[in-house]
Amino acid sequence: MPMRRRTFLKGAATTVAAGTGLFPHVWVKNTGLAYAQGGEIKVGVLFSLTGTTAIIEESLHKATIMAIEEINAAGGINGMRIVPVEEDPASDPATFAEKARKLVLSDRCVSVFGSYTSASRKAVLPVFERQNNLYFYPTLYEGRECSKNVIYTGAVPNQQQDDFVPWLVEKFGKRWYLIGSNYIYPKEENNYCKKLLAELGAEVVAEEYVPLGHSEFSSVINKFRSEKPNVIFSTVVGDSVVALHRQYRAAGLDPETMPMASLTTSENEVAAMGGDAAAGHFTSAPYFMVWDSPENQRFVEAYRSRWGGDKVTHFVSEPSYFQVYLFKQAVQKLAASDITPPTIREAIKGEEMVAPQGRVRIEPENLHTWLWPKIGQCGSDGQFTILKQSETWQEPDPYKAYPNQRCTADGLKEV
C-alpha cells in the first residue's frame, strides 16, 4: 500500500511541477501551491509550552527557535528566510495531531520540528504520512519505528546501550536489577538490555516497572538491599527519577558498589534532585552539557546569552538545535521551486554536519542519525564527568532487538 500511495504522489507532484513550469504566475500567486515563496520558507514548531511536559519541551522550543534565528541572521537558506509557525499542543497527544494538521494543511509548512514524548509522536504520525510531509523528532526513544516521514535525531536503544552495558558489566559485575516506569519506552530499552546481558553471560535478578509519576520507592529500595545487584539499570522517567535518587541516597545505599545506570537522567533531573543525590551514578547519552568541543562551547554560550545565564542544555535540546541545521543543509541543495517535503527527505539522506556532540549523519536507510554515545558520571556539583566516548560514531538500528526485522529505505522488511 505505501508503495502505491508514494507512486501516486510522485505522479501528482510531477503533474504539479509541469503545471508550475507552464503557468508559474497562476499557481504561485493564486493558490500558493509552492512551498517556498516570497523569499520565505515556512516550518512548523510544535513543542508544548503548557501542560505536564512543558517543563522539558520549552527547552526544545528554545533550541529550535535559536537555530532558526541563527540561520536567518547568517543570510537564511539560499537567501530565503525560515519563518517558524509556532503552535502550543499543551502536552496532549490529541492536540498534537490537531495542531500538526493545521501546520501541514492550512499553514502549508514544508516540515515540522516537534514532540518530546513517544505518545505525541505516534499521534502526529498519521498526519505526516497521509500528507507526505516531514516531521523532525529530537528525542531519544525506544526505536521499533520505520516511518518515511520522520527524521529521528535522538538516540535509539542500540546507540545508548552498545558501549554502556558491556562497560558496566566489566566494571561492576553481572547481577543486574532493571527498573523502569510502566510504559513502552522502558520495556523496549529493557528488551534490548536483556539481549546484551544474555550475550555477556550476565544475570537479570529482577525486572520491575513502577507506575508513571510514582514517588514512593522505599519498597523498591528494600529489594535493592536484599538482592544486592551490581548494577541498577534505570529507565524511570520524569519526576520519578528525582524521587528514586533522593530516596536511594536517604536510605544510605552506596553508588560505589551498587550504582544506578540510567538512560534518562539528564542535567535537568539532576538540578531537581540536587548534586548529592545524583553523585556517583551513570548516564549514557550522545550529549552532555560539559562536552568539550568548540561547537558545544559556542552552542552553550549562544543558548545562555539568548535565553538566560542559568539555562542548561541537555541531550534532547542539542538534537533540537542541530536538526534545524541539517534541514537547512538539505534545503540548500534544492532549487526554490523544488522545495517540497519529499525532496527534502531525499536531500537530507546521508547529510552530515559537526554538531555540538560531534559529527552526525542522517542514515539514508532508516532516517535515524549516526551519533556519538558517551558515558557520564555525575558529580556532587550536579555536572557530569565524561568517562568514555565511543570510538566511532554509532550506527542507528531501530530494530536491533528484533533481528528478523530491518528498517530500510523501502519500509520495514522481514528477513
Q: Which residue in the set 17, 33, 37, 58 belongs to the binding site for another protein (CB under 8 A)? A: 58
Pick 106 or 218: Cβ nearer another protein: 218
The answer to whether 367 touches 150, Cβ cutoff 8 Å, is yes
d(CA 161, CA 96): 30
Pick 195 or 246: Cβ nearer another protein: 246
d(CA 219, CA 222): 5
Q: Which residues pair with 378 in a beta bridge?
A: 384
Per CB under 8 A, 183 contacts another protein: no
The answer to whether 203 touches 175, Cβ cutoff 8 Å, is yes
Binding part of the chain for another protein, among 36-44, 61-69, 209-217, 284-292 by CB under 8 A, reads 209-217
Which residue matches cell numbers 520524569? 238
> At 127, is the secondary structure helix, strand, or coil?
helix
The DSSP annotation for 305-339 comes to HHH-TT----TTHHHHHHHHHHHHHHHHTS-GGG-
The distance of closest approach from Cβ of residue 172 to another protein in the complex, given in angstroms and rounded to an integer, is 22
What residues numbered 242-301 form the site for another protein, per CB under 8 A? 242-243, 246-247, 250-252, 268-269, 271-274
Pick 77 or 242: Cβ nearer another protein: 242
Pick 213 or 411: Cβ nearer another protein: 213
Say how many residues touch another protein, by CB under 8 A.
Answer: 36
In 3D space, the residue among 223, 282, 230 whose CA is nearest the CA of residue 247 turns out to be: 223
Pick 133 or 234: Cβ nearer another protein: 234
The answer to whether 283 touches 262, Cβ cutoff 8 Å, is yes
Per CB under 8 A, 209 contacts another protein: yes
Binding part of the chain for another protein, among 8-16, 26-34, 241-249, 359-367 by CB under 8 A, reads 241-249
Which backbone phi and psi does 388 adopt, to 5 degrees? Answer: -160, 135
The distance of closest approach from Cβ of residue 61 to another protein in the complex, given in angstroms and rounded to an integer, is 12
The distance of closest approach from Cβ of residue 165 to another protein in the complex, given in angstroms and rounded to an integer, is 23
In 3D space, the residue among 68, 74, 151, 116 whose CA is nearest the CA of residue 314 turns out to be: 116
Contacts of 219 (CB under 8 A, 6+ apart): none
The distance of closest approach from Cβ of residue 269 to another protein in the complex, given in angstroms and rounded to an integer, is 7
Per CB under 8 A, 52 contacts another protein: yes
> Between 210 and 239, how does the x/- string for binding to another protein read (CB under 8 A)?
xx-xxxx-xxx-xx-xx------------x
d(CA 200, CA 273): 33
Q: Where do contacts with another protein occur on this chain (CB under 8 A)? A: 50, 52, 54-55, 58, 182, 208-211, 213-216, 218-220, 222-223, 225-226, 239-240, 242-243, 246-247, 250-252, 268-269, 271-274
